[in-house]
Amino acid sequence: MEVETEPKTNDQEEQIVNPWEVSGKDGGKIDYDKLIDKFGCQRLDETLIQRVERLTSRLPHVFLRRGVFFAHRDFNEILDAFERGEKFYLYTGRGPSSEALHLGHLIPFMFTKYLQDAFKVPLVIQLTDDEKCMWKNLSVEETQRLARENAKDIIACGFDITKTFIFSDFDYVGGAFYKNMVRVAKCVTFNKVVGIFGFTPEDHIGKISFPPVQAVPSFPSSFPHLFAGKDNLRCLIPCAIDQDPYFRMTRDVAPRIGYQKPALIESSFFPALQGETGKMSASDPNSAIYVTDSAKDIKNKVNRYAFSGGQDSIENHRKYGANLEVDIPIKYLGFFLEDDAELEHIRTEYGAGRMLTGEVKKHLIEVLTDLVERHRKARAAVTDSARLGYGGSDVLLMRLCNFSTVETLKSGSIVMSYSQTIPQAVGCILILSSSSLQMVDAFMANCAIIIKDDGGLAFMTPGLSNQKMERE
Amino acid sequence: MEVETEPKTNDQEEQIVNPWEVSGKDGGKIDYDKLIDKFGCQRLDETLIQRVERLTSRLPHVFLRRGVFFAHRDFNEILDAFERGEKFYLYTGRGPSSEALHLGHLIPFMFTKYLQDAFKVPLVIQLTDDEKCMWKNLSVEETQRLARENAKDIIACGFDITKTFIFSDFDYVGGAFYKNMVRVAKCVTFNKVVGIFGFTPEDHIGKISFPPVQAVPSFPSSFPHLFAGKDNLRCLIPCAIDQDPYFRMTRDVAPRIGYQKPALIESSFFPALQGETGKMSASDPNSAIYVTDSAKDIKNKVNRYAFSGGQDSIENHRKYGANLEVDIPIKYLGFFLEDDAELEHIRTEYGAGRMLTGEVKKHLIEVLTDLVERHRKARAAVTDSARLGYGGSDVLLMRLCNFSTVETLKSGSIVMSYSQTIPQAVGCILILSSSSLQMVDAFMANCAIIIKDDGGLAFMTPGLSNQKMERE
């Protein structure tokens, strides 16, 4: 029997990777080979990537082609099932501890968008405002505000609004989700979470209670409004490898409560501008490019802070070439420059000393400025359309609600209330159908009625985007 | 500063009282004086009882007059506030681990009904199905079923339906309630719960996560649909003293998160038929009278199992009289025979040997048979009227929802959805008012719309009992 919750503990002193701390041995690079060995996950090899290409009939994402997503658990089983014609769903998330996201935060979402598009599958995105409230000692209200702000950035990544459900824990915990939290919590001892997460007896019980909250979105029954009757739907979790401990625990528990183990596809960490020694730090704004940075900020940060592998003089650079292994502009281009041939050209010329650091940085500044500008526009569109439709950003989260029950609706039966899923956004959403509530005006039939916090009403036809929503 | 979470630990080996274990020293009686000293609560003295009588203008409940409720925390402050014209609310609960309740289970509910009637205050009743799921290793579904069954017995105690909200954790945890759980959990370390509840590192994290769930109904902000804008409303908790550890923790945390400490009024344990050595045992059906027992069962149990303080022969009995200190029929009459003079008469005659054990038992059998019969009828009425109104017991819990916002409704504004509070019972309840939803038929205006699991609809006018509800 597979035991996943007790990773090998050799060299634990040297390299630390858990959801709250990432540091390499002696302050150096993370050794990802050792991490795979320690965590007991599998390397995402070329064969698997080729299989993805064949199954999706499209070029694999650069993050796959270039090894950003480098490890997995049972991803092959997800592909086996997909090949048999079975769907799965995606689950990813974010802990909303800061206002603005940096590029590293976008990595899982950009990759998840690719997976959603390529496999045409539903997606749930968890915003762990409760976690950040407990770990960062922020107020409930502040983490909820950050969750709403971060949700806009996530929406800006362009997910399929008919297949995506974004929720924050403070909004969504309850009902089927809470029942699964209890089912998981029953199977995990305090000693176990000490082994997995390094908790101590001096930690507060909020921390000790949290792992089941991040575990249960792995189970389709936590989302009855999305996956009713699909309890065996497989779940694939794209995430950075520091989140692996949560899902080792989840995979250990799943079969004991009659659920499928979630599969994982895991990324390395996006390097800081100053060099590749772990994750970026939110406390040092100059360590990262933020999605709120201006073109001038980006130019300044890349030129001043991006660690260069170039030589200290032009003469030496021409003679020895750049050290690509430590060069941050080259690393960043590897993430964001889509054109393989162009990237290879830059690597060759720069590595041979024929291209200078300044030229590579100029290239990177162009790529990043374009990326951030596109994100900024997409994010502004989220806000604007939400305002247009509803008069406030509070109902933003519901834009991405998946009205998966639209077929049921068409047949005239009542489906369900969405109010539990997004209580902070709306007082109540009631889906009515004409045959079961005949005295209701035709305008309201087959609509969601949204009662907002201020008492106003909005109506929404399921399956339509918010541009088509009408308001009383 | 008051430190309530570290009770004195002398003689901990001898007498054990916590939410999961009650046993006296050497298997003997519980020493309640020692318990008051150890827990650090206050004795409920005669002065306080007289004050209750004066403030409520009615005879104090037998449980007060006869010392069943014998200890408190800040009950005097509740009375101070009440005297100033400030209201409070009551909070009690039950862990639904068994189908049928015994008489001991009814004690807090009978007393709570008295408090509600006497002080005319709102009441919340928590059914901790999640706790029982975790401690008794029952399935989620089984504990939910037990919660619904137990709710009928609780409703049968006759609470004011316009002022009472019964919920189960699996139904209600979420939203404002969950936010308060997180706020509490942040303030309590693992070491602390080890000290309070005796958890060990081998306990599962479900147990460690639970104390905040039982804590937060002490805070009015956990019930925004009942107490919106009344964040300083005081809470009074009637309970058996074994629940004190939960509320010691709650009172310790409350000021740190800006909330009022709940006050407590605490009872001794109802003795088993076999004698007064702690709480009754659900595993031995002959140790207790159940509310489902027939008149024949009651007669048989009292005659066969009720421990007698009478002498072993009539001659000796006439000569020495009964030992009232250990006599269970006398104890039980002390709980359930309302007439003080009659009780005193029996005590005197029996204690002097002029009345025999058989006569006392006969008296007790009459009292208990009448009590259980009245309960049985009241419980049947709950079920029947629920069936009449809704076609199923699933919507039972909502009968006692407090439509506290009825004034708001009358003024024409939309209030809120109740669906989050009782999702298992109803798909959605939407309270509509004519001015804000003009296309809705007059029949529906100012109504609650209840969508049942089977897709049927029901309508309910707020503030009316279910007899007056109409159904499509």
Tell me: the pLDDT tens digits for B88-102? Answer: 999 999 999 888 899
What's residue B383's pLDDT? Answer: 55
Tell me: the pLDDT tens digits for B35-88? Answer: 999 999 999 999 999 999 999 999 999 999 999 999 999 999 999 999 999 999
Q: Which residues of B touch A454 (CB under 8 A)?
A: none
Tell me: the pLDDT tens digits for A140-154? Answer: 999 988 988 888 888
Q: Which span out of A1-5, A161-165, B108-112, B384-388 was modeled with the highest average pLDDT?
A: B108-112
Task: Summarize the confidence of residues B275-284 as an average pLDDT.
Answer: 68
Lowest mean pLDDT among A314-323, A364-373, A456-465, B173-182: A456-465
A179/B201 Cβ within 8 A: no
B423/A436 Cβ within 8 A: no
Q: Which residues of B touch A173 (CB under 8 A)?
A: 173-174, 178
CA atoms of A254 and A188, how far apart (whole Å): 11
Length of chain A (residues): 472
Query: pLDDT-derived band of residue A46, with 50, 70 and 90 as boundaries?
Result: very high
ipTM of the complex model: 0.83
Q: Residue B190's closest chain A neighbor by CA?
A: A201
A417/B133 Cβ within 8 A: no
Assigned token pair, B209: 């996560």
**Count of A-B CB contacts under 8 Å:** 189
A56 Cα to chain B: minimum distance (Å):
39
Q: Name the percent of chain B lying above pLDDT 90.
A: 62
CA atoms of B153 and B383, how far apart (whole Å): 10
Question: How does the average pLDDT of chain A come out, rounded?
Answer: 80
Residue A471: CB atoms within 10 A of its CB come to: 13
Distance of CA B451 to the CA centre of its chain: 29
Distance of CA B358 to the CA centre of its chain: 33
A175/B190 Cβ within 8 A: no
Query: pLDDT-derived band of residue B450, with 50, 70 and 90 as boundaries?
Result: very low
Assigned token pair, B192: 């602390």
A427/B436 Cβ within 8 A: no
A443/B137 Cβ within 8 A: no
Task: Summarize the confidence of residues A68-72 as an average pLDDT.
Answer: 97
Query: pLDDT-derived band of residue B431, with 50, 70 and 90 as boundaries?
Result: very low
Helices (runs of H) and strands (runs of E) counted in chain A: 20, 13
A446 Cα to chain B: minimum distance (Å):
15
Instruction: Indicate the SS3 state at residue B126.
Output: strand
Please determine, for residue B439, whether its predicted confidence score (pLDDT) is greater than 60: no
B420/A420 Cβ within 8 A: yes
Please determine, for residue A95, whether its predicted confidence score (pLDDT) is greater than 80: yes
Nearest CA to B455 among B387, B386, B385, B392? B392
Bridge pairing between strands A263-267 and A69-73? antiparallel
pTM: 0.83
Length of chain B (residues): 472
Instruction: Specify the higher pLDDT residue, B296 or B437.
Output: B296
B356 Cα to chain A: minimum distance (Å):
52
Please determine, for residue B127, whether its predicted confidence score (pLDDT) is greater than 60: yes
A204/B208 Cβ within 8 A: no
Please determine, for residue B273, whether its predicted confidence score (pLDDT) is greater than 60: yes
Lowest mean pLDDT among A13-17, A69-73, B293-297: A13-17
Instruction: Specify the higher pLDDT residue, A60 or B148.
Output: A60
Q: Residue A180's closest chain B neighbor by CA?
A: B140
What's residue A419's pLDDT? Answer: 32
B440/A439 Cβ within 8 A: yes
Q: Which span out of A274-278, B314-318, B384-388 was modeled with the highest average pLDDT?
A: B314-318
Buried b (16+ CB within 10 A) or exposed e, B405-419: bbebbeeeebbbbbb
Query: pLDDT-derived band of residue B21, with 50, 70 and 90 as boundaries?
Result: confident
Q: Which residues of A touch B137 (CB under 8 A)?
A: 186
Assigned token pair, A330: 């080259």
Instruction: Specify the higher pLDDT residue, A22 or A244.
Output: A244
Superfamily of domain B16-267, CATH level 4 = HUPs (3.40.50.620)
Tell me: the pLDDT tens digits for B197-253? Answer: 999 999 999 999 999 999 999 999 998 878 888 999 999 999 999 999 999 999 999
Identity of the residue in A183, A209, A457 whose CB atom sits nearest the CB atom of B208? A209
Instruction: Specify the higher pLDDT residue, A203 or A161.
Output: A203
Q: Which residues of B touch A412 (CB under 8 A)?
A: none
Question: How does the average pLDDT of chain B come out, rounded?
Answer: 80
Query: pLDDT-derived band of residue B282, with 50, 70 and 90 as boundaries?
Result: low
What's residue A158's pLDDT? Answer: 87
A308 Cα to chain B: minimum distance (Å):
43
What's residue B59's pLDDT? Answer: 96
A447 Cα to chain B: minimum distance (Å):
14
B28 Cα to chain A: minimum distance (Å):
34
Task: Summarize the confidence of residues A133-138 as an average pLDDT.
Answer: 92
Let me know: does A58 contact A118? Beta carbons within 8 Å.
Answer: yes
**CATH no. of A295-381:** 1.10.240.10
What's residue A166's pLDDT? Answer: 83
Q: Which span out of A68-82, A165-179, A367-381, B212-226 was modeled with the highest average pLDDT?
A: A68-82
Please determine, for residue A213, whether its predicted confidence score (pLDDT) is greater than 80: yes
What's residue A54's pLDDT? Answer: 97
Please determine, for residue B381, whether its predicted confidence score (pLDDT) is greater than 70: yes
Instruction: Indicate the SS3 state at residue B228.
Output: coil
Lowest mean pLDDT among A185-189, A289-293, B415-419: B415-419
B190 Cα to chain A: minimum distance (Å):
5
Bridge pairing between strands A470-471 and A457-460? antiparallel
Q: Residue A188's closest chain B neighbor by CA?
A: B204
Lowest mean pLDDT among A29-38, A64-73, A361-370: A29-38
Domain boundaries of chain B, sorted by first residue: 16-267, 295-381
Q: Residue B202's closest chain A neighbor by CA?
A: A189
Same fold, B16-267 and B295-381: no
B437/A416 Cβ within 8 A: no
